[in-house]
Amino acid sequence: MRRRLPGRFSIRTAAVAGGLVLTSALAATASATPAEPPPTRLAGAHDGSAHAAQRTHEVEYFTRPGGHPRHTEVPAATPDRLARAHRALSASEAAADGDVSSVVQTGPVADKLDVVFVGDGYTAAQQEDFHADVRSKWEQISAVEPYASYKQLFNVWAVDAVSNQSGVSGDPGKDVVRDTALKSYFWCDGIERLLCVDTDKVESYAAKAPQADLVVVLSNSTKYGGAGYTLTSQVGYDGIATASSDNADSDQVAVHETGHSLGKLADEYFYAEYGTYTGAEPSESNATKLTAAQLTSQQKKWYRWIGQTSPDGGKVGAFEGGRYYPKGINRPTENSIMRTLGREFSLPGREAMIAGFYRHATVLSSPTGTDTAVKRDAAIKVTLPSSASVTWSVDGKEVTAARGKKSVTPASLGVAADGRAHTVTATATDNTAAVKDPALRKRLTDSRTWKVTA
């Protein structure tokens, strides 16, 4: 499906009170490498003031795949030397700019987690290349668990941002300037692999999608680099990741970043010079001051998983080091994706990701609306993740023969043509073994009810 959709809203970045807005590119191995303090604030906000142009973001960047992280502060807007590189689009180019395409659509946007890809450095003639890159990147991201088990919860959209020139600034050399829609550029803040964007421009394009819960900017480049902005907009999308379109490691940018934005997970690497953490108990679900024994006795955080074999290797416990500190903070496993690029999410991490998915999506979705009555012979279809099961009932009584069916008609369920009012209800429950938290488990059941006409 391909169509042009008007922008439904103007996205603004919400400043988090007291808040941490972290930009993460790739996970890293633990290292005793000098580093600046972890990001602790967002300087500036979308306040409409004269100082908006001076807004900055704290960012985390990585100089090579699996390299050691650093922190710096970068402008939210485009540097003047890049902003000046601009010519107006032609009429035909402008007509294509902002087109929205459905890459994956599993159900209504209200029921799904909507991922929006925006391209940069793709000319009008290269938009099909952008669409192919989106499909490739989504295949890579959704091959990682728990994405792989929950593909039915996602819609994926591609927003065409037409650039005057192909490629992005800073590729291959620092002095290369290209006229692109989002002003993507390497050598951000003088750091070669840090791939920054004009966040306001990104937001204006993301707003054209029917819904934006997570945004990925694909920059037309083979060069290694990226970034991942962990922020929440006023319209609800969680995070912006930037990645090179044709670099083999770039999909890990988005995977690691969504650990922050969707899973609300902390980084699990640390620096020797940070010493011992002495602050309050961290809010993130994968970081604690407690030992494994204390977690179990106090029934805190990931205690339900302790002793179980984790997909990232080894058993779940309480491993010293995390959240940048080598001492005073423990993490669930030795080496998950929140510590090292290319690893799996740990068992507690997977549960946190699933919780994040369900903050945006519902277990049960249907293209058949419930606001109007359906006929006896009309098909009612539902979608649900692979770990979920569905039951059907008529007037409150389950039709056991219909268990597991994803398409039924009221007549096939036994609704009689008797002129009386009847209801059909579908109830879905996600039975995944990847969730142990009872509070989350309660959110894993959903139902829809339809009125039936003769």
> Which pLDDT belongs to residue 41?
31
Instruction: Summarize the confidence of residues 42-68 as an average pLDDT.
Output: 57
Q: Is residue 266 in a domain?
A: no
- Asked if residue 11 has pLDDT above 50, the reply is no
Answer yes or no: are the C-beta atoms of 124 and 93 closer than 8 Å: yes
Q: How far is CA 21 from CA 37, 200, 436, in A?
A: 14, 16, 29
Range of the domain at 435: 374-453
Distance CA 23, CA 191 (A): 14
> Which pLDDT belongs to residue 342?
84
How do 388-394 and 397-398 pair as beta strands? antiparallel
> Which pLDDT belongs to residue 70?
67
- Asked if residue 44 has pLDDT above 50, the reply is no
Confidence of residue 219 (pLDDT cuts 50, 70, 90): very high
Q: Is residue 401 in a domain?
A: yes
- Asked if residue 23 has pLDDT above 80, the reply is no
Do 236 and 281 share a domain, yes or no?
no
Q: Is residue 368 in a domain?
A: no
Do 148 and 191 share a domain, yes or no?
yes
Q: How far is CA 112 from CA 156, 195, 212, 359, 385, in A?
A: 10, 29, 10, 10, 11
Do 221 and 319 share a domain, yes or no?
no
The count of domains in the chain is 3
Do 64 and 139 share a domain, yes or no?
yes
Q: Tell me the per-residue pLDDT of 92-116, one tens digit each, with 9 for 90 and over.
A: 999 999 999 999 999 999 999 999 9
- The closest alpha carbon to 180, from 128, 221, 210, 226, belongs to 221
Q: Is residue 268 in a domain?
A: no
Do 242 and 309 share a domain, yes or no?
no
Instruction: Summarize the confidence of residues 365-379 as an average pLDDT.
Output: 95
Confidence of residue 69 (pLDDT cuts 50, 70, 90): low
* Residue where a domain stops, chosen among 317, 335, 360: 360
Distance CA 106, CA 382 (A): 10
Do 10 and 121 share a domain, yes or no?
yes
Instruction: Summarize the confidence of residues 78-91 as an average pLDDT.
Output: 85
> What are the tokens at 216?
């990925």
- The closest alpha carbon to 198, from 86, 91, 94, 114, belongs to 86
Instruction: Summarize the confidence of residues 208-219 as an average pLDDT.
Output: 95
* Residue where a domain stops, chosen among 261, 296, 320: 261
Instruction: Summarize the confidence of residues 82-92 as an average pLDDT.
Output: 86
Confidence of residue 53 (pLDDT cuts 50, 70, 90): low
Instruction: Summarize the confidence of residues 160-177 as an average pLDDT.
Output: 96
List of long-range contacts for 404-407, beta carbons under 8 Å, 24+ apart? 406/381, 406/382, 407/379, 407/380, 407/381, 407/382
> Which pLDDT belongs to residue 78?
82
Do 80 and 176 share a domain, yes or no?
yes
* Residue where a domain stops, chosen among 328, 360, 392: 360
Do 310 and 397 share a domain, yes or no?
no
Q: Is residue 367 in a domain?
A: no
- The closest alpha carbon to 60, from 251, 199, 227, 263, belongs to 227
Do 299 and 427 share a domain, yes or no?
no
> Which pLDDT belongs to residue 276?
98
Confidence of residue 178 (pLDDT cuts 50, 70, 90): very high
Answer yes or no: are the C-beta atoms of 21 and 42 closer than 8 Å: yes
Confidence of residue 27 (pLDDT cuts 50, 70, 90): very low
Determine which of 43-47, 71-75, 143-147 has the lowest per-residue pLDDT on average: 43-47
Q: Is residue 270 in a domain?
A: no
- Asked if residue 341 has pLDDT above 90, the reply is no
- Asked if residue 50 has pLDDT above 50, the reply is no
Do you find a cis peptide bond into 172, omega within 30 degrees of 0?
A: yes
Distance CA 212, CA 210 (A): 7
Do 245 and 388 share a domain, yes or no?
no
Q: Is residue 366 in a domain?
A: no
- Asked if residue 5 has pLDDT above 60, the reply is no
Do 193 and 71 share a domain, yes or no?
yes
Q: Is residue 203 in a domain?
A: yes
> Which pLDDT belongs to residue 38?
42
What does the H/E/C string look like for the chain?
Answer: CEECCCCCCCCCEECCCCCCCCECCCCCCCCCCCCCCCCCCCECCCCCCCCHHHCEEEEEEECCCCCCEEEEEEECCCCHHHHCCCCCCCHHHHHHCCCEEEEECCCCHHHCEEEEEEEECCCHHHHHHHHHHHHHHHHHHCCCCCCHHHHHHEEEEEECCCCCCCCCECCCCCCCCCCCCCCCECCECCECCECECCHHHHHHHHCCCCCCCEEEEEECCCCCCEEEEEEEECCCCEEEEEEECCCCCCHHHHHHHHHHHCCCCCCCCECHHHCECCCCCCCCCCCECCCHHHHHHHCCCCHHHCCCECCCCCECCCEEEECEEEEEEEECCCCCCCCCCCCCCCHHHHHHHHHHHHHHCCCCECCCCCCCCEECCCCEECECCCCEEEEEEECCEECHHHCCCCEECCCCCCCCCCCCCEEEEEEEEECCCCCCCHHHHHHHEEEEEEEEEC
Do 292 and 395 share a domain, yes or no?
no
> Which pLDDT belongs to residue 45?
37
